[in-house]
Chains A and B, each alone.
Chain A
Amino acid sequence: MASLTHDRHSWADPLRDSRIFIVRSTRHSLRSIDAMVTSIALPVVILLLFVYVFGGALSPSGGYVDYVVPGIVLLCAGFGSSTTAIKVNEDMTNGVIDRFRSMPITGTAVLTGHVVASVVRNLASTVVVLGVAFLVGFRPHGDVLAWLAAAGVLTLYMAAISWLAASFGLVARSAEGAGAFSFFIMFLPYLSSAFVPTDTMPVVLRGVADHQPVTPIIETLRGLMMGTPVGNDWIVALAWCLGGILLGWSGAAALFSRRTAR
């Protein structure tokens, strides 16, 4: 056997490990066509459903498409990112994680790979959904800077959901259990201003809807995309996103080193 160099360590190791795992997870994404199709087809179907089925009733004067697209985009981002829970769980229940955990690498780099691949995958499907939205009459008025800001908020949201999903995937006992996270995340936008303004809801529900994380994020996205004032929503939105990232990341890091795969 060839005699080989032993491991050298430097401050850049975590970055290097993460890059290697990002390549791995991206390959996984590109090779699971069915998951890719679902994560694009589902939001598109929901978009068409809301615009053509519910839209007429919700806004008889038309223009509902402009109201609903930011919500659909967020729904899409949340759903797609939450599939990270399944991918992380599959890793944990498969023998390969034992190899990674027994190697001198930054443990959470495996998770970073999943999260970054998830964000990239979801940005791509968001572009597709937006394309369909334009075809069905979405006409935003935000300028390029505002759209870049919207993309930034969306990216942070995807990262937050992905990291939270990674934690959930580490806790869940099976891939089916991990899949439950998607439904939870799918549900959140319905209890927000994504599809109807919250002031149309009963008082109690409105209290929930106004103070849950998705509403300020939606309002920020809507303001930025449509070129309307955003107010203070963006601060609340950023706080929720960064808080989610911090919680998801630290939770995942702690769970990762504790969980013993079987």
Chain B
Amino acid sequence: MPYTLDVEGLRKSYGDHLVLEDLDLQVGPGEIFALLGPNGAGKTTAVRILSTLIRPDSGTAVVAGHEIGTAPAAVRAAISLTGQYAAVDEVLTGWENLVMIGQLRRLATRRARHRATELLDQFGLVDAADRRVSTYSGGMRRRLDLAMSLVVRPTVLFLDEPTTGLDPRSRRDMWSAVGTLASSGVTVLLTTQYLEEADVLADRIAVLDRGRKVAEGTAAELKAQVGSETVELFFDDAAAPATAARVLEEVGRLVLADTDSAATDLVVRVAGDGSAEDVRRLLDLLAAEQVPAARLSLHRPSLDEVFLTLTAHPADAPAPADDRPLERTF
């Protein structure tokens, strides 16, 4: 079966700054695929290239059967884009926005009006239909934005950070709206910096960091990359965790990045398989090195841990200046 999105070796740089480095992606029909990464990872650049807004320096991408470089018009006919900043006309009302998009999508005016009414109803915007969008809340704007992308059902829907800046309740509303798309067979490429969002929505996830894909798979597969269980070791001595981490790394154990710097002073997280034998070896090793663990707990790794472990930057390679720190809101 041909891929709906087939991307090979996509590369883009602005001046000396490489924002996308040889990205490969294959997304099947009806799949919800998430590009997960911090700000500056290249997610938005990837979406802008695939939606024909900017050209890659090299590489090929076939979207819904059309090559972006040679048939951009055919690509545009098959896609919808809901951008990072709500792509709505603030001066017009919600209804006017939807009718305008319908007309631009070559629906007859009557059909466009009918469809606008349907979508306002579907996205809970009936009461706000005749108000200017500038009076809408952030959540309403995003819902209208999504509705505008669905006036004519696209083959591929690009959602660039659909819930950034939304309150938890609006976020959940967006999630359920995106969720219903999946059942309608629309292929969705979504970008997000929220691990939870990728976990909830996406069939598969690619983790991007500084323009490179560092991992790809289902949420479960990604979690498995850092071991099937995480062993959390607690120490009583403030100096012990650093020593313990070094000892463990020397014997080849995967020490997971801190996910919560405030509470981790006395904690080291290690990937393990959850067996008693594995835990016993860990404890014996630490005891032999004079840094015995005081307590321990076992838990399934969170995507948070996966993400930070996969994207952890070595100290000698500082992030580029425009790389803002990862916003983590949960």
A positions within 8 Å CB-CB of B: 1-9, 13, 16-17, 20, 23-24, 27-28, 31-32, 94-96, 98-105, 260-261
In the assembled complex, how far is the CB of residue A193 from the closest CB belonging to chain B, in whole angstroms?
Answer: 39
Contact B104 A103 (CB under 8 A): yes
Query: Is B215 interfacial (CB 8 A cutoff)?
Result: no
Contact B86 A95 (CB under 8 A): yes
In the assembled complex, how far is the CB of residue B122 from the closest CB belonging to chain A, in whole angstroms?
Answer: 9
Contact A7 B106 (CB under 8 A): yes
Query: Is B100 interfacial (CB 8 A cutoff)?
Result: yes
Q: A96-B88, A102-B52 are in contact. Are A4 and B73 (CB under 8 A)?
A: no
In the assembled complex, how far is the CB of residue B280 from the closest CB belonging to chain A, in whole angstroms?
Answer: 55
Bound-complex Cα distance A31 to B103 (A): 21
Contact A102 B54 (CB under 8 A): no
Contact B83 A104 (CB under 8 A): no
Query: Is B91 interfacial (CB 8 A cutoff)?
Result: yes
Q: A2-B115, A260-B54 are in contact. Are A99 and B91 (CB under 8 A)?
A: no
Contact B84 A95 (CB under 8 A): yes
Q: A6-B152, A98-B83, A260-B54 are in contact. Are A104 and B73 (CB under 8 A)?
A: yes
B79: which A residues are within 8 A, CB to CB? 102
A2: which B residues are within 8 A, CB to CB? 115, 118, 153
Of B85, B88, B92, B152, the contact of A7 (CB 8 Å cutoff): B152
Of A20, A95, A98, A102, the contact of B100 (CB 8 Å cutoff): A20
Contact A102 B51 (CB under 8 A): yes
Q: List 28 A-B contacts (CB under 8 A).
A: A1-B181, A1-B184, A2-B118, A3-B153, A4-B107, A4-B153, A5-B106, A5-B152, A13-B106, A16-B103, A24-B100, A27-B91, A28-B91, A94-B85, A94-B90, A95-B83, A95-B84, A96-B87, A96-B88, A96-B89, A98-B48, A98-B53, A98-B81, A98-B87, A99-B87, A102-B51, A102-B52, A102-B81
Interface size counted on chain B using CB atoms at 8 A: 41
In the assembled complex, how far is the CB of residue A247 from the closest CB belonging to chain B, in whole angstroms?
Answer: 26
Bound-complex Cα distance A9 to B76 (A): 13
Residues of B53-107 whose CB lies within 8 A of A: 53-54, 73-74, 76-77, 79-81, 83-92, 96, 100-101, 103-107
B230-250: contact bitstring with A at CB < 8 Å (1 yes, 0 no)?
000000000000000000000
**What 7 A-B pairs come out closest when comparing CB atoms?**
A95-B85, A99-B87, A104-B76, A104-B77, A102-B81, A95-B87, A102-B51
Bound-complex Cα distance A102 to B159 (A): 13
Bound-complex Cα distance A16 to B150 (A): 21
Query: Is B148 interfacial (CB 8 A cutoff)?
Result: yes
B3-41: contact bitstring with A at CB < 8 Å (1 yes, 0 no)?
000000000000000000000000000000000000000
Contact B152 A4 (CB under 8 A): yes
| Chain A residue with Cβ nearest B81 | A102
Q: A98-B81, A260-B53 are in contact. Are A24 and B89 (CB under 8 A)?
A: yes
